[in-house]
Structure 1
Amino acid sequence: MTDPNDAGGTPYAIEGGVPLMLPLDGAPGSVKAAHAATRTFLDRALPGRAIGRTMAVDALLVVAELVANACRHAPGPCRLSLRVSRQGIDVAVEDTGPGRLLPGMDGRRPDGAGRVGYGLMIVGRLTRGIRVEPRPHGKVVRACVPWSA
């Protein structure tokens, strides 16, 4: 697995700037574990900053969808990485699936190019877009939940 610190954006000096890195086995229960770890991370990383219920719910939904997709479509383990940046909450899920871009991965419905799950469409709308970065043994899917206005 690769270093999530190359996600772009400048992290705040929160907890020494250390992101959450959670290895998951890809088995049933991985989404639940990722959800719980994300809640804890947000509570600890932003103790004096009210990020707003909407942003917290958005971040939890983005994490759940990206981890669920990794568990459903990629064989083997995956890793969730979270960090706080000036842009918002950076979410990265690394898995062993192919690193190709699929129609609609930007969160928009493709026009006649095939079907894309509604989960990724929702993630695309809640974030600044979805990026898929191929790796030698899989891919990293990244999204940033922007700070609420």
Structure 2
Amino acid sequence: MRAAPEGSHGGGDGCTGPGEHLIRAGYTLGGDDGCIANARRQALAFLGQAEADYPLSVPARARNLTQLVVSELVTNACKYAPGPVMVELGINIHTVDVVVWDSDPFMPAARTTDPDRIGQHGLEIVQAVSQTLLIEQQPVGKRITARITLFDPPTTEKPGDL
């Protein structure tokens, strides 16, 4: 995995403007049997590196959601797209961005909720746990960006309100 401060290479990722991330890292997966577990490990290592290098704390909830989103998006890419899968992670003081590129030009959409359906809930899950989900067609394949908040927004409920 290659990690670099945001200013060291240019361009946005579809959800953020240039210069917004504290750190970004990218890596390519070959689509073999261990690639999904490897992607989750890379995500955890990235979050740990961000905490070590910056005055930043990644709550367990955000850490777990990042692993879940990476797992779901990489699983879909490995299952449906031929060739390598590219993953990019970016973080700032508010959010973690997970970006997955693959070679399949098919533009997926989250299906409507169906508790009787077995499987094919990955994009639904990603959409439910992400602040933003952006799917973009690329010259070769597609890019999916999911933004995960580091902290839950404050609630307006008072104790005793239910």
Q: Same fold (TM over 0.5)?
A: yes
Q: Which runs of 4+ in 1 moved over 6 A?
A: none
Judging changes above 3 Å, is the alpha-carbon distance between structure 1 residues 103 and 21 closer, same or farther for their aligned structure 2 residues? closer
Judging changes above 3 Å, is the alpha-carbon distance between structure 1 residues 118 and 61 closer, same or farther for their aligned structure 2 residues? same
Judging changes above 3 Å, is the alpha-carbon distance between structure 1 residues 70 and 31 closer, same or farther for their aligned structure 2 residues? same
Preserved contact between residue 21 and residue 79 of structure 1 (Cα < 8 Å): yes
Distance 2:14 2:136 in 1: 11
What stretches of structure 2 of length at least 5 have no aligned partner?
1-9, 153-162
Question: 2:83 corresponds to which residue?
Answer: 76
State the AA in 1 paired with 2:58.
Answer: I
Q: CA deviation at 1:44?
A: 0.5
Judging changes above 3 Å, is the alpha-carbon distance between structure 1 residues 24 and 103 closer, same or farther for their aligned structure 2 residues? closer
Deviations 1:82-116 (A, max 9, x none): 0013540001000000142x342xxx6169xxx98
- Tell me the TM-score normalised to structure 1 length: 0.80
Judging changes above 3 Å, is the alpha-carbon distance between structure 1 residues 6 and 119 closer, same or farther for their aligned structure 2 residues? closer
Give the total of aligned pairs.
137
Question: 2:72 corresponds to which residue?
Answer: 65
Distance 1:42 1:110 in 2: 31
Counterpart among 133, 140, 145 of residue 143 in structure 2: 140
Note the 1:26-45 alignment, pairs <5 A.
26-45=31-50
Counterpart among 20, 38, 43 of residue 11 in structure 1: 20
Q: CA deviation at 1:20?
A: 1.0
Preserved contact between residue 51 and residue 147 of structure 1 (Cα < 8 Å): yes
Aligned residues with identical type, % of pairs: 28
Question: 2:7 corresponds to which residue?
Answer: none
Counterpart among 63, 82, 92 of residue 56 in structure 1: 63
What's the C-alpha RMSD, in Å, of the aligned pairs?
A: 2.4
2:76 partner SS: helix
- Tell me the TM-score normalised to structure 2 length: 0.74
What stretches of structure 1 of length at least 5 have no aligned partner?
none
